[in-house]
Amino acid sequence: MQRAYDNRLIGDTYRHDIQCEVRLQHDPRDEGRDPMVGSISERLLGRLRHLALAYELPLLARLPGDGSIAYREIQLGSVEDELAFLFDVVSDQVLLEAIAPMREMIRRAKHAPGGWSLMVEMP
């Protein structure tokens, strides 16, 4: 049997994809702090959004297909719970590695509250 779709589970498959920006930033009025910035492949972000829709995860299901979304600090605990749920039920290591920086950003915001928002932007 040919395994035509195995490349979906190899990180290099997404190396040349359009990259979406994930940014943890303080309130815009707090000019002295730099945001924490990462990226995720457009296809992997789509995979995350579709899994969130399939599992009825209300915040991650709102990830953009185009444009952007901002999760406010008050929502970050729920986003973290939704990501943790996906880590428990999904065995797609490429996706899990791609969203690990997002989880780290949320942990950072929870440990040092102060007007954070998590931005996810399509190019």
Q: pLDDT value at position 3?
A: 87
DSSP per residue over 42-101, as a string?
A: HHHHHHHHHHHHHTT-TTGGG--SSSEEEEEHHHHHHHHHHHHHHHHH---HHHHHHHHH
User: Is residue 113 over pLDDT 90?
Assistant: no
- Please give the share of the chain, as a percent, with pLDDT higher than 90: 82
pLDDT of res. 121: 97
> In whole angstroms, what is the distance from residue 1 CA to residue 113 CA?
52
Query: pLDDT value at position 98?
Result: 96
The pTM of this model reads 0.90
Give me the pLDDT at residue 28, please.
67
Nearest to 111 by CA among 13, 23, 24: 24
Average pLDDT, the chain: 93
Instruction: For the chain, give every domain's residue range.
Output: 18-121
What pLDDT is recorded for position 34? 81
Mean pLDDT of 77-82: 97
CATH of domain 18-121: 3.40.1760.20
Average pLDDT over residues 115-119: 94
